[in-house]
Structure 1
Amino acid sequence: MHTVALFFFANVLFCLAYMVRDMAYLRAITILAACSTLPYFYLQAVPLYSAMGWQVAFIVINSFNLTVLLLHRRPIKLDQLEQWLHETTLRFLKPRKMRRLLRLAKTHDINKGEVLIEKDQELNALLLILSGRARVEANRQQRAMLYPGDFVGEMSFISRKPTSADVIAEEPLRYLVWQAETLEQLYVRDPEMKDALQSAIGMDMANKLAR
């Protein structure tokens, strides 16, 4: 009788598991439910070892996935550069996702007076200034100034159209570069990353217009 009650309790837990949205809770409840079925299967007139084996397999698989999930949710310690980017340009990304994004970028340096982007250039990359300033020129007239934390060439990156102005280093400049192909591959694996990065680009554009 007690084993039957335990079996019904296990099924209630299974139903509850599929009602929760958080994957960690789902897996934890599923593990508890599977454990609750083991006494029922074992205490039958003929122990149902096959059913017990499947439940143990489910317990092991869910325990492994729950462990991986919890490890991914651990808070990470950001270095000074990461912390600055997370508080400014990339604040729409969670720290772990931001670090993954930064690892895909390459760092470049140019000297004062060097051209970062030329007008009518086919730009298949997204740039982000880390240090230094750059001026935006069109028809030999300065249109804007770019500062650390600003994206560069984001309009061309989004529209896939040639750039509309020159961008020239006003002082020694360090910047990050993400190739469009690399980001597209990232978006396939993590669609949320695309939404977060587009939000960051949108906020960057709004800040530039407000200057």
Structure 2
Amino acid sequence: MITLDGVLINLGYGLMLLALLARDILWLRTILILAQSCLCTYALHAGAPNVAAWNALFVAINIGQVIRILLERRAVQLPDGLDAIYSLNFSVMTVPEFLGLWRRACEVRAFSGELLAQGEANDRLIVLTDGEVRVVVHGHDVATLGPGDLVAEMSFLTQEPTSAAVVADKPVSYRYWTRVMLERTRLRKPALWSKLQAAIGRDLVRKIRQVDSQAAPQDESELRGNTTT
């Protein structure tokens, strides 16, 4: 004979099993709310207030998590000027993730002079927001960086001394995260840390491609010169 208690407890556990198969965290939380609501109702009907209280607590926690996920996934507009920086390296993150990380960064405006010296320790991950800087190796300019470019990211990752100096001839603005700040991100939000590493990797690959594209015409001209002499 089918009873209300039997329906509620089987439906509750069946929904919990279905939740374990969900790939999306939002669907998992939503199905768990339905499952634990069924179990809470069953416990109240069966005269088990302790079981009902625990399941009611689980329902409340999952409702809170669903609200948080929906807020994170809502359409968020990037402020003016940030869309280009986001598209250049940080689009591996969601917009809310990027904005949260961006707001935690320290801001420096109208800086001019030597941003980093060659051969010094670097404990900051720097991103330019306005202006240009020169990358100098032993007194020779090797590259120019502009808005959206990361600065000295390799020395930051490897914790080795910088291989080049970075100089701002005119005032520039930039933001930076310290190693301590990002270490907290790594521990508390490992998924976001992985995306930040991917953003750094994207920046490095893009710079390597730029160097290769600049070197190719020079190699071709040298080859032509050798064939005509």
Q: TM-score, normalised by structure 2?
A: 0.81
Q: How does 1:54-93 map to 2 (within 5 A)?
A: 54-93=54-93
Give the 4+ runs in structure 1 shifted more than 6 A.
none
Contact 2:26 2:69 in 1 (8 A): yes
Greater mean alpha carbon deviation, residues 29-38 or residues 156-165: 29-38
Q: In the superposition, relative to structure 1, how do residues 5 and 81 fare at CA in structure 2: closer, same or farther (>3 Å)? A: same
Report deviation, 1:15. 1.4
Greater mean alpha carbon deviation, residues 81-90 or residues 195-204: 81-90
Q: TM-score, normalised by structure 1?
A: 0.87
Q: In the superposition, relative to structure 1, how do residues 177 and 52 fare at CA in structure 2: closer, same or farther (>3 Å)? A: closer
Report deviation, 1:41. 4.5
Question: Which residue of the other structure, out of 12, 15, 18, is the alignment partner of 1:16?
Answer: 18
Greater mean alpha carbon deviation, residues 24-33 or residues 34-43: 34-43
Measured in 1, the distance between the counterparts of 2:147 and 2:24 equals 37
Unaligned runs of 5+ in 1: none
Unaligned runs of 5+ in 2: 211-229
Report deviation, 1:152. 0.8
SS of 2:21's equivalent? Answer: coil
Match of 1:7 in 2: 9
More helix by share: 2
Report deviation, 1:48. 4.0
Report deviation, 1:118. 0.8
Deviations 1:70-100 (A, max 9, x none): 2232222211133222211211111111111
Report deviation, 1:130. 1.0
Match of 1:176 in 2: 175
Question: Which residue of the other structure, out of 29, 32, 35, is the alignment partner of 2:34?
Answer: 32
Measured in 1, the distance between the counterparts of 2:119 and 2:150 equals 18
Identity %: 29
Measured in 1, the distance between the counterparts of 2:199 and 2:17 equals 39
Q: In the superposition, relative to structure 1, how do residues 11 and 80 fare at CA in structure 2: closer, same or farther (>3 Å)? A: same
Measured in 1, the distance between the counterparts of 2:102 and 2:41 equals 50
Report deviation, 1:115. 0.9
Q: How does 1:98-117 map to 2 (within 5 A)?
A: 98-111=98-111, 114-117=113-116
SS of 1:57's equivalent? Answer: helix
Measured in 2, the distance between the counterparts of 1:70 and 1:96 equals 11
Measured in 1, the distance between the counterparts of 2:191 and 2:39 equals 37
Q: In the superposition, relative to structure 1, how do residues 78 and 35 fare at CA in structure 2: closer, same or farther (>3 Å)? A: same
Name the Cα RMSD after superposition.
2.1
Match of 1:209 in 2: 208
Look up the equivalent residue of 1:199 and give its one-letter code.
Answer: A
Q: How does 1:33-52 map to 2 (within 5 A)?
A: 33-37=35-39, 40-41=42-43, 47-52=47-52
Greater mean alpha carbon deviation, residues 158-167 or residues 51-60: 51-60
Contact 2:40 2:53 in 1 (8 A): no
